[in-house]
Structure formats: C-alpha cells, structure tokens
Amino acid sequence: MSKKNLIVIGNGMVGHHFLEQFADTPGAANYHITVFGEEPLLAYDRVHLSEYFGEATHADLALGTADWYRDNHIDLRLNEQVTAIDRQHQRVTTPQGQYPYDELVLATGSYPFVPPIEGNDQPHCLVYRTLADLDAIRASADGVKTGVVVGGGLLGLEAANALKSLGLEAHVVEFAPRLMPVQLDSDGGAVLKQKIVDLGVQVHTEKATQSIVPGGQARLRMNFNDDSHLETDLIVFSAGIRPQDALARSAELVIGERGGIVVNNQCTTSDPHIHAIGECALWEQRIYGLVAPGYTMARTLAACLNGDAEAAFTGADMSTKLKLLGVDVGSIGDAHGQTPGARNIRFNDEAAGHYRRMVISADGKTLLGAILVGDNGPYDTLLQYALNGIKLPDHPETLILPESEGGAPALGPDALPDTAAICSCHNVTKGDICSAIDAGCSDLAGIKSGTKASTGCGGCAALLKNVVDNELEKRGVEVSKDLCEHFPYSRQELFHLVKVNGIRTFDTLIEQHGKGRGCDICKPTVGSILATCWNEHILATDHVPLQDTNDTFMANMQKNGTYSIVPRIPGGEITPDKLIVLGQVAKDYGLYTKITGGQRVDLFGATLSELPEIWERLIAAGFETGHAYGKSLRTVKSCVGSTWCRYGVQDSVGMAIRLEDRYKGLRSPHKIKFAVSGCTRECAEAQSKDIGVIATENGWNLYVCGNGGMRPRHADLFATDLNDDELIRTIDRVLMFYVRTGDRLQRTSVWLENLEGGLAYLKEVILNDSLGLGEELEAHIGDIVGTYQCEWKTVVEDPEKRKRFREFVNDERKDPVQHWVEERGQRRPAATETVEEMA
Amino acid sequence: MSQQKQWQTVCETADLVANSGIAVWTPAGPVAVFYCPDETPSLYAIGHFDPIGNANVLARGIVGDIKGEPVVASPLYKQHYSLLSGQCLEDASVKVPTYAVQLDGDQVQVAVHAGQREECAA
C-alpha cells in the first residue's frame, strides 16, 4: 500500500508536540509526513524564551532534534514558508515547490498584536515572540539605556524581564488599570505592581499611547492620552496575540469574526482534510494562548487521525502558575468570581507582598477559582481542589492562611482522586502514575520517562514527586537504595564500610556486611571501591573474580567475544614513531583500526591469547594501558592550544597531559571524561565532559558534571581564573567527592542532579570546604597517584597472570565461532546471518 | 550412538581460577568450568557458548548467586545462567548444556557423552 501524505505547516511547540504524539501511534506508519517551518530553527520552547538572554541557547530551548525527525522518517523542511493551499488539488505551495497532501495540519500559531499607534513602524519598535525577535531586541539594546514594553500581561512582563536582563532600565506601559488584567483582580494587580516596581521596573498603568515620535534624550518619545510622555530607546509590543490565519483565509476556510481558524471538537476545519491546532485554531469562539490547551488539541488530533471516534477537544483549563520577574503569580479557574453566587475569601499581607484569593461556590463546598500573588505555595493544592471538585474542608480559609495562622498543610496526594491531572502539559493523571507504578516502575525517573509527566513546563515536579513517593510507600515499596540482594547498603555506604573498617577483600566485606556469594552487580562495584580505597592491582588473586570481563582482561569485549585495545595517548598527543608502532601491531594481528572520539586509536578484533603479546609490543614502544575497559578516567581531550594555535591563550595540551597523567587509573562509579580547551572557542568541547577546563587570559575556568552521550548535559561553570595548582587541587576534591558519594554507574551529571543542594552545595563543599573534607580528599588522591601502576605492564611481566589469557586452557586452537568478512579494506565480524550461511 | 559417560581430563587444578571460570576444549566442544572453593559443590561445568550473544564467552562471566541459585552472568548481555541446570533465568526458552565435573587428584575431569559433539556448536 502506498503511503498517504500528511503535511504539517508550522514547527512551533504545538506542531512539534503533535508530531511527537502522532509518531508514537500505529497510524503514523500509514503516512509520509512532511513538516514546514517558516523559521530556520527547530521547534523551541517559547514559554522559557526570556532565558535566551541569560545562559540559554537555541539548543537549550529546542524541543526536539534533527535526529529525532530523521529517526521517525519525518521530512523536516525549515526555513520554507508555505505560501498557498490549493484545496481542490490537495496540495501546498512553497517557494521551493508543490507538495500533495491527503491530510493537512495547520499549526501556524499566532503573531504579536501591535496596537494601531501612529509611528509604530519605525526602527526600534519591536515584538517579542521568536528567537529572531530576541536577537533584534538584543541588537537594538546594545549601548542604550531605556526600554519600554507595551502591554502588562503575562508576555509583557516576560518581555520586561528580558529587557532588564539586557541591562536596560525597563518600563511597562499598560492600558488597563492593573497588571495582568486577565488573570488578576485589582488587589492582586496592585501587589504585583508593587513587587515589580521594587525590582526596578517602572510600571505605568491606565496609559494609552497615542503616538510614537523621535525623542530628544532618547531615540523615541511616546505620547500618552493624558498628555504625559515617556522617552525610550526601544519599544517592545507585547499587547496580546492574534491567530496566524492568513494561509487559511486565502484558502477560504471558515474564519472567526475576530480571526482564528474555526475548528470542531476533532480539531478539523471547514475542510474535512484540513485540521488546525494551537493558537491559530478557534474553538467555540475561543483562542487558547497557552501551551497546555495546544498540546491537548495536538493529542486529540493525533488520536482522530488514528480513527479514534471518541477523541474530542472539549476545552481546557486556563489556570496558570508563573514566575514573572521572580514574582510568583497564580490564577486558577474562575479567578474573578463570575459564577453566580460565588463568594470570596481574601488574604492580603501587604508587608510581605502576599495576596491570596479563593472563589468558592455558593454552597461553600467547592473551589471555583483562585488568585495568588507573591507566593505560589498553595497553588498545587488549590488547583487540585478546583479541577477535581474536591469538597473543601470546614474552614476553607485555612488553605490560604499562613501556617502560623492555623493554615492547613498542603492537600496530601492521598486526597487526590485517580482522575486528578498531575501534569497538564502531557495530560498525565494520578491514575496514569499509579498504573505505571503497578506495571513495575519504581522510581521518579522511570515514571517521568514512562509517562512524560513533568517533562513539559515542569511546573508539577514537586507534586509529581509527592504522588510517586506516596504511592510507592502505600505499596510497601521501601524506596530501596540497596545495591543488590547481597548487600543492604548503597554504594556510598559500602564505600564507608570499606574505608572505615579497612576492609581489603570482597570475601571479608560480604562475610561481615552481606550475604550469599555476590553477583554481577555487587562484585564489580566492590571491586571498584576496593581499587579506589587501596589501589591494589585489579587482577590480584582476590580481585580477579570481581571484575567485569573488560576489567578482567583489560580490554573491551566486542560482540563476537574478541577484544579491542586502546592504549593511552595522553591529551591526544602522539609521536610519529608511536603511531607507526600502532599501525604495525594492527597490521601484524589483522586488527580493525578506528580513531575514537577521545583522540585515541582503538584496535579491534584481538583474541584473548593475543592480548598479552600485543601489549608486550605496545609497552616496549612506551605505551601504557588506556583504561578504556574500566570505570575510570578515559581521556583528557585537548585542542592544540597556545603552542600552535593563533587564538590559544594557554597550553591546553600540556595541561591535558598533566591531568591525564594524574588521574589515570582512578577507579570511580562510572567512566570519567575530561577535556581542556586552549581558549574560549572551546574546540575540545570541554563543556560536554565530566571535568571541562577552558583557558582564560588569566588561567583556567573549570566546568563540572557535563555529559555527552544518551542524555547530554552542559557542564556547570564551577570556578574561574584558577592557576595550574588551584585547578588541580579543585579537580582533586571534586573527583574524590564524586568517587566517594556517587552511586553505582552514576555519571557525574546525574550525581550532581541528585546531590541535595545541587551545584551551590558542591561549591560549598569543594571551594569553601564546608565539610572540612578538603585535605582528606586531596591526600586520598595523592595516595592513588603515588601507587599508580600500568596494569598491563604488571600482567605482561607475570607468567601466572598471563595464563589467564588462554582461549582454552587445554588447547591452542582458535575460537571456532569467530567468522570474519572484509569491509573497506579491513576485517570485521561477520553478521550472524552470514555466519549461518557459512556454517 | 553411545550415550556412555566418558570422563575427559580437561586441565589441572592449577589452571582453575577461584570464584571464576576458565574455558576448556572437549570432544563436545567448548566448555566453561567454574571453581568456587568455598561452596559445595565447588566445581561446575556448562557450555561456554552464549546462545544469546552467539559467542564463546560464558567462562569469562562473573560468578555469583541469584536468590541462592549459583549463576554466571554472560559478559556480553548480562543474562544469568544457572550453573546447576544451565537454564537462562531471564528467558525460559534458553538453556545451555551442563556437564558433570569431578576431581581426580589434581586432574579436572568433565563427563561428555560420546556423540554429543554433533549437537554442539563447534
């Protein structure tokens, strides 16, 4: 069956969410999917747009990756604007060509409304919606003093925050008598205004701008209807949004009176093959300008395209919880008390700047709405009362009173019904979470990846954790930190037992603190701990049975039972003579040869018995083991630095070699990667490493706990302008603290994320020595450095240890199941199917 | 075809590695011999071939127990095989052969059936 064509116009948050949802459904297989994005960038998170003026880049804000689109066979066409829809022939036109569709999804979003003010089209009159808009604002703000945002709503205050973070004196001009008129009442607006003024943003309410003319002191002058005026260097219009319905209009789809593509409950427009979702869609005379309802539409449409006759969009909750300029603002349900008979409870602490209002049904039994300013603490509880119609307590005022005044503690997760929506972005209910737990999920991370809860805006993170912990507890799941069935301890606890009691063998440890024989979880873990504590050879008789095969044979096992060899090449620097040795050895043993990502050479396909012979030759040529097999330091990648590079400001190769030599062989909870860049251009990609060092004019900046791989994480800046010795002392402490407290197979990135107190705490411990551990950590590293031995050298020189490297102890034959084929001039293992044919 | 047990000497005790495995070649193909000096029995022999990873590697796995059952974990994909029955604990349909094993002085002997060779990977 040939596939039908599904075209999505718009690659914003909702368009992307639709694709994510749809790609996961069986129906996706029936379609060839093409998506057009007007912007040159992949869909990104507009909710957190102002972070772009902080540290965030497009990559941080991006919602998906080009790889994801490719893996899901979605043809992603960015920077290609659809200019027309031909409904009769079912095709769309772009400047690049014409594309047929069977089903068309409009996710064109909205555009900022610019009020019709005379002079609003001159330079430095800007809007706030896309990253390109933000770049324009940044350019306009360069070297000037003042910026004005027109519009005191949610987006306007976000924009004011953006101007403030650019160092401008920021003003907000609002037509209504208060800020956030949609979400707040006048008292709430007043508290918010005071808080924002205290933060240095000037707020002008009840001002209508009549004209914008050239200014005297600044670039522009805004004239208001009350004859006052304001001078400013730039103006950002953020006075609301309008649905982007131009394409739909020219295709003569039914459009609402005030704009918006009219859709039914299935998100289908007046043309049965055209659908609209998100801010461009008009449902029951409403445009939803928030992301959660857009996501709900996206899910509905994905279900409809799978033939789900029940799927329907039936409106969405518009409650919001925000932090605007650092001020908490929450608005729930019928915040203005428009329900007939509604009654109010208000709490207003002007001194603290806390305003809370509950709107209660006429019978006093249910919560209809609420407003919070200054502290969103009660938000989650109130939202659950409102959404689920939970009966209010006898004294509902306790829900918003401070606890010192007899306020009730938050609504326990137990009180929530199974239908309670915990995560509204991904529509995950408490029931969904319970099912995931019943299906075997036993930790927060698993719940998050399984249900997607709390992976949207993240606002429900605390509530989710409460629910998960509570449900696990109810099921009698002690949130176990036991390493395995043999040891009722975490890795960190075992480390302490070993260190404090001076335990030097696995047998002693399991006899005193565990039970049974051990297993493939606890043995390597204890092996690693023993290595860190006492640094004895990993193949000492007592330690041999603890090691994973890679450690046992000090090479990396490949799929056919052969091994690969990675000699250490510190900092990636290698002499031609040594390179020739590697080539010659590889040639003599027929080893497949590949350059690794860590600036080393990997030689594949050595059999067990060949390993010691190969290492004999490598050691003779001056190589050392590279520990590519161990949970230990892998490489210190470097760029060429000041010794060659025109831009380098420090000797990055020299530092990389020094670091690699210092930490080589250190056993740790998981592998550790370093990199050193010689200047801020960062060619060594240090910010994706566990330990990243970037040269500055004055020394070195240290970044910690980055990661590439499956879950990339940018390293955090930890200390700046360190000299060589300070750098090494700081790394000594960070590494040792990680090695002592990390969990089994926990990379530094996850370790930091799970460390209570996070980066700030780590800085306290390492830089300010708040635990008084500094000297001990440094001394421990010193011991390890002092007792380093090349593990392979020791083995090659010991005939007893070499005996271990026999394929078959009673026979010199080669392993009969290893089959090889040649590819691109080298040999590789034959695929299983090929082997079967050969057999 | 005879199903007579034949004791084959495969190595000496000095070749064994305590709490770990070694691989030997027998007429029935590659066999993994594990030695746990503090346990009873202290010797186990199972097929060396890992039917899930399709490679001769089981002797190189970590020896331990799962709820008391002595096992070896495949070094390739970490499935556990019972040292007593050869049963894969993660997949009921997968089993590796097991062999009787004994000490005769310092000789380690494995019992293989004549004719067993044809059934095994070699």
Same domain, A154 and A96: no
- Please name the member of B18, B57, B121 whose beta carbon is closest to the beta carbon of A561: B57
Contact B20 A835 (CB under 8 A): no
Residue B83 has a pLDDT of 95
Residues of B in CB contact (< 8 Å) with A are 10-11, 15, 17-20, 22-25, 30, 36, 39, 49, 53-57, 60-68, 70-71, 73, 75-76, 78, 80, 121-122
Residue A150: both structure tokens together: 């027109």
Residue A61 has a pLDDT of 85
Output B100 or A813, whichever has higher pLDDT: B100
Residue showing tokens 């729930």: A332
State the smallest CA–CA distance between residue A713 and chain B in angstroms. Answer: 27
| Residues pairing with A264 in the sheet | none
In a domain, residue B9? The reply is yes
- Please name the member of B19, B49, B67 whose beta carbon is closest to the beta carbon of A545: B19
- Please name the member of A522, A544, A835 whose beta carbon is closest to the beta carbon of B17: A544
Residue A613 has a pLDDT of 95
Same domain, A509 and A576: no
| Mean of per-residue pLDDT scores for chain A | 88
Give the CATH number for residue A183. Answer: 3.50.50.60
Residue A468 has a pLDDT of 85
- A172, pLDDT greater than 90: yes
Residue A540 has a pLDDT of 84
| Bond before A712 cis per omega within 30 degrees | no
In a domain, residue A838? The reply is no
Same domain, A206 and A249: no
| Alpha carbon distances (Å) from A527 to A196, A538, A626, B36, B58 | 57, 8, 18, 18, 20
> How many domains is chain B built from?
1
Q: Residue A612 and residue A555: Cα distance in Å, rounded?
A: 11
Residue B120 has a pLDDT of 39
> For A363-385, what is each residue's pLDDT tens digit?
888 999 999 998 888 888 888 88
In a domain, residue A823? The reply is no
Same domain, A106 and A125: no
Same domain, A81 and A22: yes
Residue A262 has a pLDDT of 95
> How many domains is chain A built from?
7
Residue A838 has a pLDDT of 47
Residue A479 has a pLDDT of 59
Q: At what angle do helices A652-663 and A724-741 cross, to 10 degrees?
A: 40
Q: At what angle do helices A724-741 and A491-501 cross, to 10 degrees?
A: 100
Residue A766 has a pLDDT of 93
Contact A516 B65 (CB under 8 A): yes
- A527, pLDDT greater than 60: yes
**pLDDT class for A403, splitting at 50, 70, 90?**
low
Strand, coil or helix: what is A3?
A: coil
Burial of A609 (0-12, 13-18, 19+ CB in 10 A): middle
In a domain, residue B122? The reply is no
Same domain, A147 and A103: no
State the smallest CA–CA distance between residue A591 and chain B in angstroms. Answer: 19
Mutate to test the interface with A, among B12, B13, B16, B19 (most CBs of A within 10 A): B19
Give the CATH number for residue A646. Answer: 3.30.413.10
Residue A411 has a pLDDT of 59
Contact A561 B22 (CB under 8 A): no
Q: Residue A811 and residue B45: Cα distance in Å, rounded?
A: 17
Q: Are B43 and B102 in contact (CB under 8 A)?
A: yes
For chains A and B, what is the number of CB pairs under 8 angstroms? 108
Mutate to test the interface with B, among A563, A814, A817 (most CBs of B within 10 A): A817
Same domain, A217 and A282: no
Q: Residue B91 and residue B105: Cα distance in Å, rounded?
A: 38
Query: Stretch A647-672: mean pLDDT, rounded?
Result: 94
Give the CATH number for residue B19. Answer: 2.102.10.10
> For A176-233, what is each residue's pLDDT tens digit?
889 998 888 889 999 999 988 988 899 999 999 999 999 988 999 999 988 999 999 9
Strand duo A103-106 + A274-276: pairing: parallel
> For A754-806, what is each residue's pLDDT tens digit?
777 788 889 988 999 888 889 999 999 998 898 888 999 999 999 988 988 99
Same domain, A260 and A138: no
Contact B20 A813 (CB under 8 A): no
In a domain, residue A671? The reply is yes
In a domain, residue B121? The reply is no
Residue B1 has a pLDDT of 43
Give the CATH number for residue A456. Answer: 1.10.10.1100
Same domain, A132 and A57: no
Residue A832 has a pLDDT of 63
Residue of A nearest to B61 (CA): A549
**Phi, psi values for residue A367, rounded to 5°:** -95, 125
Same domain, A207 and A251: no
- Please name the member of A545, A557, A813 whose beta carbon is closest to the beta carbon of B76: A557
- Of A239, A254, A285, which one is at a domain's C-terminal end? A239
Amino acid at A483: L
Residue A204: both structure tokens together: 């002008």
State the smallest CA–CA distance between residue A534 and chain B in angstroms. Answer: 21
Query: Stretch A425-436: mean pLDDT, rounded?
Result: 85
Query: Stretch B58-63: mean pLDDT, rounded?
Result: 94
- A642, pLDDT greater than 90: yes
Concatenating the DSSP letter of every residue in B45-111 gives: EEESEETTTTEE-GGGSEEEEETTEEEEE-TTT--EEETTT-BBSS-TT-B--EE-EEEETTEEEEE
- A835, pLDDT greater than 70: no
State the smallest CA–CA distance between residue B72 and chain A in angstroms. Answer: 8
> For A309-335, what is each residue's pLDDT tens digit?
888 998 887 888 887 777 889 999 888
Residues from chain A that touch B57, judged by Cβ atoms under 8 A, are 549, 557, 561
**pLDDT class for A457, splitting at 50, 70, 90?**
low
In a domain, residue A310? The reply is no
In a domain, residue B22? The reply is yes
- Please name the member of A520, A557, A806 whose beta carbon is closest to the beta carbon of B62: A520
Q: At what angle do helices A724-741 and A758-767 cross, to 10 degrees?
A: 120
Output A676 or A533, whichever has higher pLDDT: A676
In a domain, residue A821? The reply is no
- Please name the member of A519, A808, A815 whose beta carbon is closest to the beta carbon of B64: A519
Query: Stretch A651-675: mean pLDDT, rounded?
Result: 94
Same domain, A170 and A217: yes
- A646, pLDDT greater than 70: yes
Residue of A nearest to B32 (CA): A808
Domain boundaries, position B103: 5-116
* Highest mean predicted confidence (pLDDT) among A277-286, A404-413, A808-817: A277-286
Task: Return the percentage of chain A with pLDDT > 70, whole number.
Answer: 96
In a domain, residue A126? The reply is yes
Residue of B nearest to A557 (CA): B76
> For B29-56, what is each residue's pLDDT tens digit?
999 999 998 888 899 999 999 999 899 9
In a domain, residue A98? The reply is yes
Residue A824 has a pLDDT of 93
Task: Return the percentage of chain A with pLDDT > 90, whole number.
Answer: 51
CA R_g for chain A = 32
| Weakest-pLDDT range from A50-59, A258-267, B22-31 | A50-59
Residue A518 has a pLDDT of 92
- Please name the member of B20, B56, B71 whose beta carbon is closest to the beta carbon of A817: B56
Contact B39 A517 (CB under 8 A): yes
Residues from chain A that touch B19, judged by Cβ atoms under 8 A, are 517, 544-545
In a domain, residue A661? The reply is yes
Residue A493: both structure tokens together: 């606890």
- A441, pLDDT greater than 90: no
Domain boundaries, position A645: 633-786
State the smallest CA–CA distance between residue A593 and chain B in angstroms. Answer: 21
